[in-house]
Structure 1
Amino acid sequence: MTDEIVTEKVSGASAIKIKQKELLEKLKEGNLVVVTRLDRLGRNTIQLLELVEDFKSRSVGLFVIKEGIDTRTTAGTLMITLLSTLAELERSRLLERQQEGIAIAKKKGSI
């Protein structure tokens, strides 16, 4: 068994992740993908769930270090679903607050 560390220096929100694509192409049955945080893996809930489903169909596990989530368990798969949904909600709220702040700054003449 060979361990491989893949480092991607692209935003989690980026649609193009070359290293991730290469990793996904190499995965084999029984492999375990380990990520530091869930948001490092995908841009949104749908993308994350599609990856988890792809891993499951290929008998590949996913372990998220920060949250201690292991998709090789039923509870782990549930947690991925819940946390990815919450993360997407938080990102949407952040963008809304940012837009509100920009609108206020424009009204004040700061921008």
Structure 2
Amino acid sequence: MKQEIKEVVIFARVSSTGDRQDYQRQVNDLTDYATRNGMKVKRVFAEKVSGGKRNEEREELMNMIAYVKEHKVKKILASELSRVGRNTLQVLKTIEILNENGISLFIQNYGIETLTDEGKINPMSQLLVTILAEIARMERKTIQERMESGYRNYRENGGKVGRKVGYRKDERKLLQEYVDEVKLLRKGYSLRNVAKITGHSVSTIQKIKLVLAKQ
């Protein structure tokens, strides 16, 4: 008997503020994954929008949800949770809508899926999604607070916020030194995952990501 080919859609996102990498890398990686696993990509949805927006304000996300419901597509591929939403509540709201319609969300970087092959809710995946989304939110908040504190202390001590001579040269040197890290970040891997894979600290990976965002 010929095995039925499962139809899927791909969802990709990059931030409109500071993150200038192209979402095409996410699309390419997810398309390769689908091909290797005998899936047919029915449509690709991609957006460039601030992660701080609510689901209802994200036109492409809403279009995707409407599309999979109308065309009875039962699986969505995303590179990581942050592509679905950078706010824990918004992520869980999206997943709840998908669950109610029997649509599974596959998160590539963790290899987890929200529904089983039988279309039932996967309790372990649901728990992991909640934890991972909250950890990601806390990491972003901590990084933002540290950056703001650093700038504030620097200014209070008479420092000037601006680029030093040779600044761009130092940035290029940093990217050349961490080629593998740059490749992983451009593929959409999270800071924590890149740190685990390469053995470097999260702070180092964050520095590299900040430089990439300025290009």
What is the TM-score normalised by the length of structure 1?
A: 0.88
State the distance in 2 between where 1:8 and 1:52 align. Answer: 18
CA offset at residue 94 of structure 1? 0.8
Bigger radius of gyration: 2
State the distance in 1 between where 2:135 and 2:129 align. Answer: 10
Retained in 1: the 8 A contact 2:86–2:133? no
Tell me the C-alpha RMSD between the 2 structures. 1.7
Does residue 106 (structure 1) correspond to residue 155 (structure 2)? The answer is yes
1:43 corresponding residue in structure 2:
86
Among all aligned residue pairs of Structure 1 and Structure 2, give the percentage whose two residues are the same amino acid.
27
1:8 corresponding residue in structure 2:
47
2:128 corresponding residue in structure 1:
79
The answer to which of 13-22 and 40-49 deviates more is 13-22
Q: Match for 2:111 among 65, 68, 84?
A: 68
State the distance in 1 between where 2:91 and 2:52 align. Answer: 12
2:96 corresponding residue in structure 1:
53
Secondary structure at 1:6's aligned position in 2?
strand
State the distance in 1 between where 2:150 and 2:53 align. Answer: 24
Secondary structure at 1:8's aligned position in 2?
strand
State the distance in 1 between where 2:52 and 2:158 align. Answer: 31
CA deviation digits over 1:65-88, x for unaligned, max 9?
011110012211111011001011
Secondary structure at 1:5's aligned position in 2?
strand
State the distance in 2 between where 1:107 and 1:37 align. Answer: 38
The answer to which of 19-28 and 1-10 deviates more is 1-10
CA deviation digits over 1:16-37, x for unaligned, max 9?
4321121112222552111011
Retained in 2: the 8 A contact 1:45–1:84? yes
Secondary structure at 2:106's aligned position in 1?
strand
Retained in 2: the 8 A contact 1:30–1:61? no
CA offset at residue 62 of structure 1? 0.4
